[in-house]
Amino acid sequence: MENQVLNQVKEKASLWLSGSYSDETKKEVQRMLAAEDTTELIESFYKDLEFGTGGLRGIMGVGSNRMNIYTVGAATQGLSNYLNREFADLEQISVVVGHDCRNNSRLFAEISADIFSANGIKVYLFDELRPTPEVSFAIRHFGCQSGVMVTASHNPKEYNGYKAYWSDGAQIVAPHDVNIIAEVEKIKSPDEIKFAGNKALIENIGENVDKLFIEKVKSILLSPDAISRNKDLKIVYTPIHGTGYRMIPRTLQEIGFQNVITVKEQMVVSGDFPTVVSPNPEEPAALDLAIATAKQHDADIVMASDPDADRMGIAIKNDKNEWILVNGNQTCLLFTYYIITRKKQLGTLKSTDYMVKTIVTTEMEKVICDRNGVELFDCYTGFKWIASVVRDFEGTDRQYIGGGEESYGYMPADFVRDKDAVACCSLMAEIAAWAKDNGKTLFELLQDIYVEYGFSKEKGISVVRKGRTGAEEIVAMMKNFRENPPKEIAGSKVVEIKDYQTLLQTNLANGKTAKLDYPVTSNVLQYFTEDGTKVSVRPSGTEPKIKFYIEVQSPLNSREDYDAVDSAAGEKIDAVRGSLGV
């Protein structure tokens, strides 16, 4: 079997030694073919890098399974072909192209702009790196039909990616996703890619869009007086070498905060991310320098954004004056609670307002929404699904007022149709100012939410399995969970199973099944137990890992009980992990 794979890979790689591939590319392919160790050759060519429903993401390098000018070129050519077919009646089709700080991001963005323009499509190309949410905003602002953001989000430095957007500023969903994939798969040779751009169709954009975007962020704030009274709030911010380095401090200052302290070492824009192992605000180590800076300045809050500034992570001081990280579920709770509470205080909360969360995000959001008469919709993981709910209500009297997911993403308004660290940092700073105005720290505010609505503790576990064999192992793990579901988890009986691949919900007490109302199927399993524990299992759509999401719940009677309840919940999560074998 291994010999067969190697022979197929060698045959495929040999095709890259002729034709329109660059001399540099051919030289690199020849080196891999001549190497005694065939691992790199196999990993680079054993499959084609798939243009999935979210675009491309992969390790940079030469080969069909790598991010390079040819895989990016095929993606852009296929998208161009689809746009020209889908919008054939338009006088001028247009797109926005942006990019982050990663190595080769500017190159891939410029090549994409050239290919779009060579296909007769007008391109609004950002003059330098910009946050992903600003690209989403610009698509809507210019009335474009599509857009591309060159980014691999929070992946390691070896990666880059290509996010494709539709006319509403959201990542692409059915039917366009599969149709575009089909067009991309038709591109079999670099000779089919129009690399020679039409400069007359490429317009540079930048500061003009920045100003409009910041004004929109300002429009969502609910407590300008609290900001004014707490303008000296000490905010430490780090972009982790990424695109937020300019826009986020600028926005914080423009909304009124005068004491924004940046982490000097991480304000250096670099695709090598020299101060971190992983540029991901979900990873505690990524905030180490920011917390050290916060201790030095006795700050009130630490905020971080990932390389393309769509995810936000925060750290706050607890009641022992220790800096602790706030996870994505807790961030969602703070946003949900604040938006609803503040709108009620201002008399602007309406019966037609709604929120959205993903199925793996904490169920405590539903408790808050239900008690306050706000409808909450569940959707699949990913902001394209949150944006899809928003799109379904467009043109009605229903008003979106917030939504997010556990993986450090939130979308506080619909002028952006993706997670938005620029708006989130501004809104979270406002929440800190509002809490201070009410005599509370952010930690005390979070505790009070738990006391009022119930305590939950969540844990995400990612089991990484790299390469071809890893992908096969992940498939086998999901198959086993589906065919042999647990009967109990941490000593509590499983009472309900939701399988989003079959769209069936099974009540284990009576054996009855019901249909789940979702637009498409998804490879996700959920188990619910008698004691309120929820476990979700899904393979990542963008990384070589299988993810487990664990949530346990219990009442919290007072702030004084927090430590004991939190500790007991941690022990319960460990027991759940033991039951699952992770």
Residue 75: C-alpha distances to residues 48, 55, 189, 482, 570 (Å): 12, 8, 12, 34, 44
153 tagged catalytic: yes
The rounded distance, in Å, linking the Cα atoms of 450 and 342 is 17
Considering 94, 117, 153, 522, which one is annotated as catalytic? 153
Give the chain's count of helices (H) and strands (E).
18, 23
DSSP 171: B
Residue 25: C-alpha distances to residues 13, 28, 109, 222, 579 (Å): 11, 5, 19, 54, 49
Structure tokens belonging to residue 4: 């067969």
* Of the candidates 303, 304, 298, 287, the residue with the CA atom closest to the CA atom of residue 321: 298
* Of the candidates 26, 102, 104, 98, the residue with the CA atom closest to the CA atom of residue 69: 104
CB–CB of 154/306 below 8 Å? yes
Burial (Cβ within 10 Å: 0-12, 13-18, ≥19) of residue 140: buried
Q: Compute how many other C-beta atoms are within 10 angstroms of the C-beta atom of residue 34.
A: 8
Q: Which residues of 152-188 are buried (b: 16+ CB within 10 A; e: fewer)?
A: bbbbebebbbbbbbbbbbbbbbeebbeebbebbeebe
Residue 154: C-alpha distances to residues 87, 384, 427 (Å): 33, 18, 22
The rounded distance, in Å, linking the Cα atoms of 80 and 117 is 9
The radius of gyration of the chain from alpha carbons, rounded to an integer in Å, stands at: 24
Phi then psi for residue 473, to 5 deg, are -65, -40
Q: Which residue's structure tokens are 């979308």?
A: 411
Structure tokens belonging to residue 108: 């891939």
174 in helix, strand or coil?
Answer: coil
CB–CB of 434/339 below 8 Å? no
Write out the catalytic residue numbers.
153
